[in-house]
Chains A and B, each alone.
Chain A
Amino acid sequence: MGKRDFARPHHVAFFDAMATELPDEYATQEVNHLTLGYFAVGGLSLLRELDRVNRDEITRWVLSFQVHPEAHDTEDNKGLFYGFCGSRSTQFPLPNVKDPCHNVSHLASTYSALAILKNVGYDLANIDSKTLLSSMKKLQQPDGSFMPTHIGAETDLRFMYCAAAICSMLDDWTGMDKLKAKEYILNCQSYDGGFGMVPGSESHGGGTFCAVAALYLMGFVQVDLASNLRDSSSIDIRMLLDWCLQRQVTGGGFQGRRNKPSDTCYAFWVGGVLKIIGAYHLIDHCALREFLLTCQSPYGGFTKFPDGRIPDIYHSYYGLAALSLLEEEGLEPLCVELGILSAAL
């Protein structure tokens, strides 16, 4: 069997189709409409095909999700987060609303909004970041973790990452207490060197990415491996390194947890950690590329497993992102810690 090819035209067609219309199977993910938009725009950006969409339209659409302080917002609303809603179904038109907590914006959609805006070249200095960040700080819990909305929700490393990425993109760290955040992240490092989503949880590829990327953005992780090994004030890098590298398994793909099957997206989550700590050169690049291409769908896009199912936009985006880390020809370089194009920085 010869070396597989990266089927660029098929992926362009796939992402173009998704950007044009998402099939109704995605309705159950519509609270994260902005995140779906992030995948579509991100995919086209990586493929250098962003001209297929209208950047101004995208900008207007994204900005329309921002929650602004209203005249009638009282001190009772002081917990309100002035970020971005993820969809129209979490956005309620004034003046119809009696419930003071009507527009519940979310850290994940705020991250997605800013990332899309960066990818389409919008200058974030135009965003009212002051209110966004001061209200975001109120979402930080006493243990350092972040709640994603002011109405109460699970707190785990995903939202720690979102908060850090938001501060980084807005270049303003008044939105969080970095030391408290670091403390929480360290508590999430498991006995085997990986990170669980919350303290005590099993080491997980997504959790590990969120932990390490957040620490890196906050300035607690260095760019090269030797420096990271010398600095013992933070996380156990040696154990982290071993955990990450052991996640590459027979077939070349990465698993998200020990003794589980390998899945396309972990090539980004775990590969991304290795990139951040300066250890990406230690993986087996050829084997990984081979695995990713077995997950490449004939319809364009990527599937979770190499089993020929219908590709979904999440695995398709992360498949491209992982190939970008592998410096696949025809793909734009990625700023892995922020999840945006390097060119967008």
Chain B
Amino acid sequence: MEHGKSGPSSWPEMADVVPVPQDDGPSPVVPIAYRDDFREVMDYFRALYCAGERSPRALRLTNEAIELNPANYTVWHFRRLILEALDSDLQEEINFIEKIAECNPKNYQIWHHKRWLAEKLGPGVANREHEFTMKILALDAKNYHAWSHRQWVLQALGGWESELQYCNQLLEEDIFNNSAWNQRYLVITRSPLLGGLMAMRDSEVDFTIEAILANPRNESPWKYLKGLYRGENNLLVADERISDVCLKVLNKDWSCVFALGLLLDLLRLGLQPSDELKAALESTRHCDPEMAGDDFATTVCCILQKYDPLRINYWSWYKSTLSS
């Protein structure tokens, strides 16, 4: 699909078509400076669309219109009507849409067309769809559309077998990739092969703690860890590994704001600090005589105000909620 090719006005198969110009209507506001080739293709599109044509030449015209403007949902809709009317080879259509998606990986209409095709073709295309999203994610590991499509394919067509392994791979490549952490959460909570969150929680806590210790300044695993206990604050507080990892990280570096934040949440939720934790918190208090009368949660807020100044208002507010 090269540019500089001649437009439909010079195609012999379109000789009998009368192009329909765009009626810009009263006082066009914010007019767009359309290029001539754009106008021409859309004028021919309008003609065939209004005539309700369902032919191979109409299909070819949508190729042109899509190339110039892949976001026009009317063109895509027309293309789907033609594909159905002609009973076209949808496997060929997957080839077509994959090429377009690679060039326009953030276009909603393209991904929707891909989903429409996959829905029609069924579970048999699950692997192909997963290979494709993997290809897109290899170029941009956080492409939101690719992730949405991948999640949809898993839930509608299957292919869960190697998904946790895929998450592991992505996290090995970039432990900061929050999309991969999110996908991991989807897999452990929804994969029909894994038994659900409760069954997976224990091993996931261990996995996440390892990731935290390797990179304590990465927010993703901290939030994932808390997420494993979503809706179960009592269990969160009761799992000693959680407060232990906070202490372990803080003993090396009291400025680790994510450790402080999680510790603060635990204390607010009723954590009774271990002797070791009490001692550690008490020794920070001795550095600042103003803290002497405070409870531990308040102490942690003060430390956060110092080490996370961008959020000083938040930690002040958080402190004020502790007394109530």
Restricting to B177-221, which residues have a CB under 8 Å from any CB of A? 177-179, 182, 185-186, 190, 218-220
- Provide the main secondary structure of the chain B interface: helix
CB distance from A327 to the nearest CB of B (A): 16
- B51 in contact with A90 (CB, 8 Å): no
Given contacts A64-B25, A200-B151, A287-B310, contact A18 B50 (CB under 8 A): no
Q: Quick one: which of A243-275 are within 8 Å of B by CB?
A: 245-246, 248-250, 252, 257-260
Most chain B C-beta atoms within 10 Å of own C-beta, residue among A37, A154, A202, A229: A202
A197 with B148: CB separation less than 8 A:
yes
Interface membership of chain B positions 72-112, coded 1 if the CB is closer than 8 angstroms to chain A and 0 otherwise: 11100100010000000000000000000000000011011
Residue B5 is within 8 A (CB to CB) of chain A in the complex = no
Residue of B nearest to A287 (CB): B310
Contact of A191 among B73, B109, B111, B224 (CB under 8 A): B224
Q: Which of A25-33, A67-75, A329-337 lies at the interface?
A: A25-33
The docked-state distance in angstroms from the alpha carbon of A238 to that of B261 is: 13
Interface size on A, residues (CB 8 A): 72
- Measured in the bound complex, the distance between the Cα atoms of B273 and A154 in whole Å is 48
Q: Are A57 and B27 within 8 A (Cβ)? A: yes
Query: What residues of B have a CB within 8 angstroms of the CB of A93 in the complex?
Result: 20, 23, 50
Q: Which of B28-36, B242-250, B292-300 contacts A (4 or more CB under 8 A)?
A: B28-36
* A89 near B27: Cβ-Cβ < 8 Å: no
Q: Find out whether the CB atom of B178 lies under 8 angstroms from the CB atom of A259.
A: yes
> Given the complex of chains A and B, what is the CA–CA distance between A329 and B256 in angstroms?
37
Main secondary structure of the interface of A (DSSP, over half): loop
- Give A202 to B144 CA distance when docked, in angstroms: 8
Given A202-B182, A284-B312, 10 further pairs, Cβ under 8 A: A27-B32, A30-B32, A57-B29, A60-B26, A89-B22, A191-B226, A191-B230, A192-B224, A201-B148, A282-B314
> Which 3 residue pairs spanning A and B have beta carbons closest together?
A191-B227, A98-B52, A57-B27
Question: Which residues of B does A touch, CB under 8 Å?
Answer: 20, 22-35, 38, 42, 46, 49-52, 68-74, 77, 81, 108-109, 111-112, 115-116, 142, 144, 147-148, 151, 155, 176-179, 182, 185-186, 190, 218-220, 223-224, 226-228, 230, 261, 309-314, 317, 321
